[in-house]
Amino acid sequence: MLPPALRRAGSSIPTPRRSACWADSGISVSQRSFKGVAPLDRRALLRSLGGATLAAALPAPVVGATRTDGVGSVVILGAGIAGLVAARELEQRGVDVTVLEARERVGGRVWTLRGGDSFTDTDGTTQRVGFGDGLYLNAGAARIPSHHDGVLGLCRDLHVPLEVLVNSSRSAFIADADGPLRLRQAANDLRGHLSALLEKGLRAGSFDQTIDAPTRKALESFLTGYGDLAADGHYGGSARSGLARPPGAFDEVQQAVAPRTLDQLLANPNLAGLLFEEEIYMQATMLAPVGGMDRIPRALAASLRKPVVTGADIVEIRRAGAGVGIVWRDAKGGAQVVRADRAIITLPLPVLAGIKGDFSAPVKRAIAAAHYQDTVKVAFQSRPFWEEQQVYGGLSFVGGETSVIWYPSDRFQQPQAVLLAAYMALDAAKSFAARPIPEQIALARAAVDRIHPGHGADLQSPVVVNWRKTPHNLGPWLDWHADGNSLDDFRLLNQPDGPFLFAGSHLSQYSGQWQEGAVLSARRAADALVPSPANVTPRHA
């Protein structure tokens, strides 16, 4: 977990880091195939919940504190990564767990689309995925940093094979007024010019009062190599920036591209794309499951003793005596109820806000106030024309309304692949999503044509994923530091509300942007109910 970005004086719970957006099939079971769920008519439901003692449970300990006695059964709402990890952890500790999921699949925001899939947005728009065999789009979470030990540990334990995800390629492009600019040229020309400026200052004695002579000499030597400078400290271009003519078999000597000037580079509004791979969460090596990110939640679900109940639309979340009663409806509209000692709720907060819940007034207010951000992905099937331009994986930074083009890493030199032609977040995504879907597709196609002239026509089988309009999510993630969200609400929702505990990446230091946060939050909630042996402090006489 990240170090606290901010800590309020006197608070024991750190606040999540500020968001740094660079714009992450289910198992169906019969209603009667698991313990604790039975058909229930409305009258019986009211008797069982309304007629029982619905007083609040005794104050619960802080999540992660000592064991809560008498927890033999837990119902988990949501079969995303957090819900599935919590279920696995609790089952391993002997708890009877029921997982309810409204979708007909597991994974939540870990959602992989393949040919033949279809989905309907909240506005009623239905899309059918027309990808060919073996092709897929990770519509949500799509990459795993090499330092996300929680997720990678799950992949190891569950035997989910991984492959390298090429998150950055110097052969990709930055859109520029003079035409597409290779990332390698932008990076190395900028480095050369800045090194030359610093070298000039060193030679002029501008830093004599700042650094001593040995340090100055060492810095001059470093800058010569770092910027590929000439002996006089001048930057006149470098083969690092690319080759106008590659080396040949005999007398064909390589020739470097002509350098861009510093003012040309700094005038490019997309130059900040060079910093993308410097972000700690974007640095190589990045990884992804072979065949799609949903391999992880599917493996998690398969590891559970009790199958996940899919198609379970949550209607009401109630206190029932010292425990909980969860009312849900199946696809036929039949009412069901699950009773348990405790509930772990992993639903996205905008979804939870629309469900009748027997929460305390402050918790209700915190849930209702949470504001999620926006993100949109537009993908196509295509022949991999980008490989003809030496691009294998990575992103091109196009700016404007479509932000980036993300090239696939899973099918090099194959006849067909899936290209993510547009991926944007925040206000750009919000305004983009306001356009009709055909217009969104046209804009994404035009962005590809801008970087790869003439190849927009190669793009087929478009798919548009708008997370604000995705049922059972209603948004991708939230930034607790922005959008009117409250850090006090973050702290509050990280505490139990009677028999209810909340978990999810949105309640971690990752603010909902990474699967790692879901894993850590889920384990924290599970430890609050039944501490694992590793988390039990030995008692000494």
pLDDT digits (tens, 9 = 90+) for 409-448: 999 999 999 999 999 999 999 999 999 999 999 999 999 9
In this structure, the answer to whether residues 378 and 465 fall within a common structural domain is yes
Domain of residue 76, CATH code: 3.50.50.60
Q: Which residues pair with 17 in a beta bridge?
A: none
In this structure, the answer to whether residues 451 and 481 fall within a common structural domain is no
Residues 6+ apart with CB under 8 A from 305: 91
Which of 469, 489, 522 finishes a domain? 469
In this structure, the answer to whether residues 286 and 407 fall within a common structural domain is yes
**Domain with 414 in it:** 112-171+282-292+374-469
The stretch 469-494 carries a mean pLDDT of 95
> How many other CB atoms sit within 10 Å of the CB of residue 38?
12
Domain of residue 163, CATH code: 3.90.660.10
> Whole-angstrom Cα distance, residue 74 to residue 483?
33
Q: What is the DSSP letter of 492?
A: H
Task: Tell me the CA end-to-end span of the chain in Å, nearest whole number.
Answer: 34
Reported as a single tens digit per residue, the pLDDT across 148-173 is 999 999 999 999 999 999 999 999 99
Continuous segment of H or E residues that includes residue 500: strand 500-502
Phi, psi of 214 (to 5 degrees): -60, -40
The stretch 336-355 carries a mean pLDDT of 98
Q: Check residue 255 and give its pLDDT.
A: 94
Point out the least confidently predicted range of 246-255, 377-386, 488-497: 246-255
Assign 70 a pLDDT band (cuts: 50, 70, 90).
confident
In this structure, the answer to whether residues 459 and 517 fall within a common structural domain is no
Continuous segment of H or E residues that includes residue 451: helix 437-451
**Residue 47 above 90 pLDDT?**
no
**Residue 333 above 70 pLDDT?**
yes
Residues 6+ apart with CB under 8 A from 103: 26, 79, 310, 311, 471, 472
Q: Check residue 62 and give its pLDDT.
A: 37
Task: Answer for the pair 380, 424: CB distance below 8 angstroms, yes or no.
Answer: no
Q: Please give the single-letter amino acid code of residue 52.
A: A
> How many other CB atoms sit within 10 Å of the CB of residue 319?
23
In this structure, the answer to whether residues 454 and 397 fall within a common structural domain is yes
**Residue 142 above 80 pLDDT?**
yes
In this structure, the answer to whether residues 155 and 205 fall within a common structural domain is no
In this structure, the answer to whether residues 326 and 191 fall within a common structural domain is no
Residues 6+ apart with CB under 8 A from 175: 181, 270, 396, 397, 398, 399, 400, 450, 451
**Mean pLDDT value across the chain:** 89
Give percent of the chain with pLDDT exceeding 70: 86
Q: Check residue 512 and give its pLDDT.
A: 80
Instruction: Give me the residue label for tokens 């198609």.
Output: 311
Note whether residue 78 is domain-resident.
Answer: yes
**Residue 533 above 90 pLDDT?**
no
> Whole-angstrom Cα distance, residue 428 to residue 425?
6
Give the β-pairing of 395-399 and 118-120: unpaired
Instruction: Give the number of domains in the chain.
Output: 3
Task: Answer for the pair 482, 454: CB distance below 8 angstroms, yes or no.
Answer: no
Task: Give the tokens for residue 198.
Answer: 């610093």
Which of 439, 469, 499 finishes a domain? 469
Note whether residue 45 is domain-resident.
Answer: yes
Domain of residue 231, CATH code: 1.20.1440.240
Q: Check residue 15 and give its pLDDT.
A: 62
In this structure, the answer to whether residues 56 and 157 fall within a common structural domain is no
Q: Check residue 532 and give its pLDDT.
A: 81
Task: Answer for the pair 518, 106: CB distance below 8 angstroms, yes or no.
Answer: no
Note whether residue 51 is domain-resident.
Answer: yes
